[in-house]
Amino acid sequence: MENPQVSELLSEIGVVLELLGENTFKVRAYENAARAVDAYTGRIAELDEKQLQEISGIGKGLAEKIHMYCSIGYLPYYEDLKKKIPRGLVEMLRIPSLGPKRAKLLFDKLKIDSVAALETACAEGRLAALEGFGEKSQAKIMEGIRMLSTFRDQHLLAEVLPLAERLVAHLKKCKAVRRIEIAGSIRRRKKLVKDLDIVVSSDRPGDVSEAFVGADGVTEVIARGDTKTSVRLADKIQADLRVVADDEFPYALHHFTGSKAHNIALRSLAKDRGLKISEYGVFKGKKRIAAKDEESFFKIFGLAFIPPELREDRGEIAAAAEGGLPDLVTDRDIKGILHVHTNWSDGMADLEVMVKEAARRGYQYIAITDHSQTSYYAKGLPVERLKKQMAEIAAINKKRPGIRVLAGSEVDILPDGRLDYDDDLLASLDVVIAAVHSHFGMKPDEMTKRICRALEHPEVDILAHPTGRLLLTRPGYEFDWEAALKCAARHGKSVELNANPQRLDIDPVHAKRAAQLGVKISINPDAHRVEGLDDMRYGVWAARRGWLGRKDIINTENW
């Protein structure tokens, strides 16, 4: 269990307690503990209860709960708490801009206890008439409901992957398991996933199924059999186990990795060659063609191995037949990080701590890019404060910390496209990242002009998180991608692939187009805490989904 998940759980408990009308001190205790976990630079899951109590803001009771959650993957106390309020009220809190206080007000005043009831009330205009809301709030909530409906039952890859990895680690202890792999959309590294798929080979499927349903974190057994077992995990995530004979494993792994569109395209190719594909094999008539692994599976069709990230029926089969698959970027290719925050602005860690941790992870350089002055809500740096930070960075570099520290800034792009600092100050920085942080509702053509004006600025190096989206909670602003990418190409600018799992912004399709236009991509974690540095892997996976190789990524280069 990673620190952000622990922090989120504590915050959610505080929210539910507030909905239940618990005293303010108890609510604040959970909120403070969540902040303490956020600020902690080590791994909370590695601490015992005594060590947890040494963290300011975490007492004995909270330490017990945190330790239990990290150990078994869920917290019975929280599950029991949620039973005390209408089930729909908790779901309502997933709607952007609707916090616990407002949800409780709606329940008390209008008896709204579900998303469906809230949608009806909005349609009837009852929220607009309620004190503290109004027409704009009602419209925002309706937009949030539509977004919630679109992404219902979907989860961030970063939330589900650790659960899958723990299940695999648990199953590997079962002696009946021969081969095991995570499959499905997790293996393809999609940014959002609905469920969790694991494929196992064994000649004792009953023993594997028994081990699966007995894993920590399983809250419900949905179905159980020798070939397929389905369970429910915490947060209602479904996990499916498929058990096959060992000689069927390559076919099953390919089939259950998907995507559906990729599998259909490959079946069509097989049919043209007089073959038939299923999860049990590739058949010529009744005879199964042997394949020991996925590489030999693809060779049956005269194809090079297709990495799971590319299996979306976007030309990968033709490319594999013609020897045209890209040499995809890997974690080992990344030499530096060009977008992190420290506690000079809204980050949680000291500047030197972030530098030390980046060096420990093997990076050759790191750019410190705290927010600019207009982002006052994120403690953006006024001019003099930025100059002081630059001086501190220069002093750190003199100590030769084993990593080069670059002075940078995430500079706001103002509504008219101007930047938040003057040209002389921007010219004195090593890295300038331009970002939209306000006025998301601009018309697409106006937003395009705004972005392009920033890209035309001679001191800008990178366009950060291009759409400004937050997955599952905030849609991105609209603009003309083609125009913006061509502008970046003309002026030699890079576009960021923001590796934060809540962003993963730019999408694979646009990343691929950027590479075609010669626009370099900068993969960055946008880290606000030490653990955020490890989000780079999500960015690398997203880049691979966009067919990007080492040559397409700017921070695979030396600085």
Please write the tens of the pLDDT for every residue from 84-97. 887 788 778 778 77
- Is 199:252 a contact under the CB 8 Å cutoff? yes
The pLDDT of residue 535 is: 96
Share of the chain above pLDDT 90, in %: 71
470/466 Cα distance (integer angstroms)? 11
Residues of the chain with CATH 3.30.460.10: 155-244
In degrees rounded to 5, what are phi and psi of residue 498? -75, 115
Please write the tens of the pLDDT for every residue from 421-439. 999 999 999 999 999 999 9
Q: Which residue in 490, 488, 548, 492 sits closest to 515, CA to CA? A: 548
Mean pLDDT computed over 315-340: 97
263/255 Cα distance (integer angstroms)? 7
**Distance in Å from the first CA to the final CA of the chain:** 35
The pLDDT of residue 7 is: 86
The pLDDT of residue 85 is: 80
The pLDDT of residue 146 is: 83
Question: CA 193, 194, 199 angle in degrees (round to 5)?
Answer: 85
The pLDDT of residue 343 is: 94
Residues of the chain with CATH 3.20.20.140: 331-556
Q: What is the mean pLDDT of the chain?
A: 93
Mean pLDDT computed over 166-173: 96
Q: Does residue 2 surpass a pLDDT of 80?
A: no
For 250-322, give the CATH class. Answer: alpha beta
The pLDDT of residue 11 is: 86
The pLDDT of residue 95 is: 82
- Is 447:477 a contact under the CB 8 Å cutoff? yes
* Number of C-beta neighbours around residue 428 at 10 A: 13
Mean pLDDT computed over 39-63: 88
Which residue type is seen at 160? V
Share of the chain above pLDDT 70, in %: 100
- Is 505:499 a contact under the CB 8 Å cutoff? no
Residue 507 CA from chain centroid, whole number: 12
Topology (CATH level 3) of domain 155-244: Beta Polymerase; domain 2 (3.30.460)
Please write the tens of the pLDDT for every residue from 471-527. 988 889 999 999 999 999 999 999 999 999 999 999 999 999 999 999 999 999 999
- Is 453:418 a contact under the CB 8 Å cutoff? yes
In degrees rounded to 5, what are phi and psi of residue 138? -65, -45
Please write the tens of the pLDDT for every residue from 440-480. 989 999 999 999 999 999 999 999 999 999 998 888 999 99
Residues of the chain with CATH 3.30.210.10: 250-322
Residues of the chain with CATH 1.10.150.110: 3-150
Mean pLDDT computed over 207-227: 93
Q: Does residue 1 surpass a pLDDT of 70?
A: no
- Is 67:52 a contact under the CB 8 Å cutoff? yes
Q: Does residue 214 surpass a pLDDT of 80?
A: yes
Mean pLDDT computed over 114-132: 88
Q: Which architecture, in CATH terms, is 331-556?
A: Alpha-Beta Barrel (3.20)
The pLDDT of residue 285 is: 93
* Token representation of residue 410: 């995430």
Please write the tens of the pLDDT for every residue from 525-537. 999 989 999 999 9
Please write the tens of the pLDDT for every residue from 362-386. 999 999 999 999 999 899 999 999 9
Mean pLDDT computed over 168-187: 97
185/196 Cα distance (integer angstroms)? 8
29/17 Cα distance (integer angstroms)? 11
- Is 197:265 a contact under the CB 8 Å cutoff? no
Dihedral sign for Cα 432, 433, 434, 437, please: negative
Question: CA 301, 304, 309 angle in degrees (round to 5)?
Answer: 110
Which own/partner pairs from 180-187 qualify as long-range (CB within 8 Å, at least 24 positions apart)?
Answer: 181/253, 183/242, 183/253, 183/256, 183/257, 183/258, 184/256, 184/257, 184/258, 185/258, 185/259, 186/157, 186/160, 186/161, 187/257, 187/308
- Residues ≥6 apart with Cβ < 8 Å to 489: 517, 518, 519
413/438 Cα distance (integer angstroms)? 8
The pLDDT of residue 276 is: 96
For 3-150, give the CATH class. Answer: mainly alpha
